[in-house]
């Protein structure tokens, strides 16, 4: 019994500290014997620091002035400038692609992988021709302050990958503006995930760890154009998995574990616009978030993790180029918007066998789990899609955030009497737990028809524009990542947002 307790204590300890045992590394995650010229490998420990990254990029720019440019798009909370690197054919590209790394500061393989990609695109002849056919923008270290101290969070303690709709952090505001201005056809956000979780101690003989070198995260949100998910599954993932198979790297669609009612369940895929995969997909862009196995591993298997990131980025670039005509046609087809929007959905719930590594026996075992699939959702509540949202002119904070999200906003040129749909709250409460420093507003509403005279200068949001699905997800009161839910506005202010469903052009 004492031995079993010691083993369980050890497994709980590693679930918090997240490092592989030497045996697990040797069997499953041996490091690759490759040269990586990023600054992290000029030293025996630690990762690339901000100043080292800037020097690395400046050196590449000095050696390849015609092929690389650097623009500083904003500042971190500590005042460090955020670089965005531009490579390739910026005049007549077949496809526009944007990559980002380091949005979570304790996920270093994303940043190192982006630096390796930039270096190799400029220095390695076998892939240099890629730059003739693509316009590529890269943000290699999005969360500089967090990266400098290897913390997931920004300097104020907030998670930048939960700020894609509330937009309260200067880093995220700068990143959103820069990426929307670039307007990519393909957007990929590179992360690392934690392979040891407290939940996993309950599986296997004395606990398990995740076995996947990487996981694909993309959106099943029902307000995202379905052609985006279809393109990812039919074009990008098959090409990437061929590369991963060649190097014997293991993969899966992204899974995350949660506790609910004292039970463990797993979520598959993404539905929430508060994080990047869904947020960019809602703007009618092919969007993925890649999770590489790595949080808490320090420099264990570090070359393997960087190479996995690099391999994926390289594969996505080649797929984007080879499928450029198909991709652009599908994105264009996404501008044929449906007649309804989805307010509430239900994830498919299925029993599932998940392969994991038993940390005691050092072998792969099947684990029975309950899976909630965000890639297979069913509609529960829908509304007619409006032709415009109408917003009172004193709600300029809403108009400002929609502008940051990349939406075009018009105003009424004169006072006008309009028949509109307005929201009437029938129930409201506050979430008991604090999220990002606030209690979320939870409401249900009904639609009431009204005739209202709107003043000159009232904001109108045309819903026939590329990023209009972001307006749906932020303005409808019940939405899980909406402005009301996130305290951008308060419940009494929902009376200042209206829906216009008639065919008359405003």
In a domain, 188, yes or no: yes
* DSSP strands (E only) in 62-123: 68-75, 81-88, 95-101
Tell which of 380, 404, 435 closes a domain. Answer: 380
Q: What is the pLDDT of residue 17?
A: 60
Q: What is the pLDDT of residue 84?
A: 98
Predicted local confidence at residue 44, as pLDDT: 86
In a domain, 505, yes or no: no
Q: Are the CB atoms for 192 and 291 separated by under 8 Å? A: yes
How confident is the model at residue 341, as a pLDDT?
A: 98
Does residue 32 sit in the same domain as residue 139? yes
Among 35, 40, 193, smallest CA distance to 124 is for 35
CATH number at residue 271: 3.40.630.10
**Helix, strand, coil content of the chain in percent (nearest 5):** 35, 30, 35
Q: Provide the number of structural domains found in the chain.
A: 3
Q: Compute the residue count for the chain.
A: 506
In a domain? residue 219: yes
Distance CA 24, CA 377 (A): 36
What is the sign of the dihedral through the CA atoms of 52, 150, 68 and 247?
A: positive
Q: Which structural domain, as residue segments, surrounds residue 139?
A: 2-341
Do 140 and 282 have their domain in common?
yes
Are both 430 and 357 inside the same structural domain?
Answer: no
Tens digit of each residue's pLDDT, the chain (506 residues) = 445 545 554 554 555 566 898 999 999 999 999 999 999 999 988 999 999 999 999 999 999 999 999 999 999 999 999 999 999 987 777 899 999 999 999 999 999 999 999 999 999 877 888 999 999 999 999 999 999 999 999 999 999 999 999 999 999 999 999 999 999 999 999 999 999 988 898 898 889 999 999 999 999 999 999 999 999 999 999 999 999 999 999 999 999 998 777 788 899 999 999 899 999 999 999 999 999 999 999 999 999 999 999 999 999 999 999 999 999 999 999 999 999 999 999 999 999 999 999 999 999 999 999 999 999 999 999 999 999 999 999 999 999 999 999 999 999 999 999 999 999 999 999 999 988 888 999 999 999 999 999 999 999 999 999 999 999 999 999 999 999 999 999 999 999 999 999 998 99
Say yes or no: 171 and 48 in one domain.
yes
- Is there a domain that residue 506 lies in? no
Do 455 and 363 sit in the same domain of this protein?
no
- Measured CA to CA, the distance from residue 231 to residue 325 in angstroms comes to 12
Q: What angle do CA 259, 352, 195 make, to 5 degrees?
A: 55
What is the rounded CA–CA span in Å between residue 464 and residue 335? 7
Do 402 and 364 lie in one domain? The reply is: no
d(CA 433, CA 426): 22
Give the residue carrying structure tokens 């590329």.
466
Residue that the structure tokens 């507003």 belong to: 441
Query: Is 384 strand, coil or helix?
Result: strand
| pTM of the predicted structure, to 2 decimals | 0.95
| pLDDT for res 10 | 52
**Rounded to whole angstroms, how far apart are CA atoms 172 and 116?**
24
In a domain, 482, yes or no: yes
297 & 442 share domain: no
Euclidean distance between CA atoms 380 and 342, whole angstroms: 8
Q: Of 358, 380, 402, which marks where a domain is finished? A: 380
Same domain, 374 and 302: no
| Tokens (6 digits) for 101 | 């790394």
Q: Which of 341, 372, 401 is the last residue of a domain?
A: 341
The dihedral built from the CA positions of residue 363, 366, 371 and 373, taken in this order, carries a sign that is positive
Which one, of 266, 288, 293, lies nearest residue 212 by Cα? 293
**So what's the pLDDT on residue 5?**
45
Claim to verify: residue 324 and residue 349 sit in the same structural domain: no
Same domain, 337 and 286: yes
Residue 479 domain-assigned (yes or no):
yes
**Do 253 and 364 belong together in one domain?**
no
Residue 344: Cβ-neighbour burial (10 angstroms; 0-12, 13-18, 19+): middle
Task: Tell whether 98 and 155 lie within a shared domain.
Answer: yes
For residues 226 and 331, give the distance between their C-alpha atoms in angstroms, rounded to a whole number: 10
* Interhelix angle 302-322/237-246, nearest 10 degrees: 140
């Amino acid at each position: 019994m004492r031995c079993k307790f010691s083993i369980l204590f050890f497994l709980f300890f590693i679930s918090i500290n997240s490092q592989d045992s030497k045996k697990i590394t040797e069997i499953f995650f041996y490091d690759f014997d490759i040269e990586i010229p990023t600054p992290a490998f000029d030293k025996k420990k630690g990762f690339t620091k901000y100043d080292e990254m800037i020097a690395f990029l400046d050196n590449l720019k000095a050696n390849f002035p015609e092929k690389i440019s650097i623009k500083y798009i904003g500042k971190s909370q500590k005042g460090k400038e955020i670089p965005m690197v531009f490579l390739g054919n910026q005049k007549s590209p077949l496809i526009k692609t944007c990559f980002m790394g380091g949005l979570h500061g304790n996920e270093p393989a994303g940043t190192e992988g982006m630096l390796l990609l930039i270096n190799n695109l400029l220095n390695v002849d076998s892939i240099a021709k890629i730059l003739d056919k693509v316009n590529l923008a890269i943000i290699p270290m999005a969360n500089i302050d967090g990266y400098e101290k290897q913390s997931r969070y920004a300097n104020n303690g907030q998670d930048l990958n939960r700020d894609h709709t509330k937009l309260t952090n200067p880093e995220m505001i700068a990143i959103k503006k820069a990426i929307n201005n670039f307007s990519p056809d393909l957007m990929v956000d590179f992360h690392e995930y934690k392979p040891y979780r407290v939940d996993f101690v309950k599986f296997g003989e004395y606990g398990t760890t995740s076995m996947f070198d990487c996981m694909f995260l993309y959106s099943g949100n029902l307000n995202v154009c379905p052609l985006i998910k279809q393109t990812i599954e039919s074009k990008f993932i098959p090409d990437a998995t061929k590369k991963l198979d060649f190097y014997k790297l293991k993969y899966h669609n992204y899974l995350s574990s949660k506790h609910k009612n004292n039970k463990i369940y797993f979520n598959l895929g993404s539905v929430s616009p508060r994080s990047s995969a869904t947020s960019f997909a809602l703007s009618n862009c092919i969007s993925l978030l890649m999770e590489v196995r790595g949080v808490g591993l320090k420099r264990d298997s570090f070359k393997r993790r960087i190479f996995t990131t690099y391999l994926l980025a390289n594969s996505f670039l080649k797929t984007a180029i080879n499928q450029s005509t198909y991709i652009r046609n599908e994105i264009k087809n996404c501008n044929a918007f449906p007649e309804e929007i989805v307010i509430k959905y239900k994830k498919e719930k299925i029993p599932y066998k998940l392969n994991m590594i038993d940390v005691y026996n050092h072998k792969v075992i099947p684990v029975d789990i309950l899976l909630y699939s965000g890639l297979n959702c069913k509609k529960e509540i829908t509304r007619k899609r409006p032709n415009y949202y109408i917003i009172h002119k004193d709600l300029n904070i809403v108009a400002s955030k929609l502008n940051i999200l990349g939406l075009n906003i018009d105003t009424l040129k004169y006072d006008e009497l309009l028949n509109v749909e307005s929201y009437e709250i029938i129930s409201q409460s506050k979430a008991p737990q604090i999220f990002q420093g606030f209690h979320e507003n939870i409401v249900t509403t009904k639609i009431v028809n009204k005739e209202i005279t709107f003043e000159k200068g009232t904001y109108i949001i045309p819903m026939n524009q590329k990023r209009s699905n972001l307006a749906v997800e932020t303005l409808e009161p019940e939405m899980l990542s909406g402005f009301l839910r996130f305290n951008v506005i308060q419940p009494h202010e929902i009376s200042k947002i209206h829906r216009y469903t008639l065919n008359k052009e405003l």
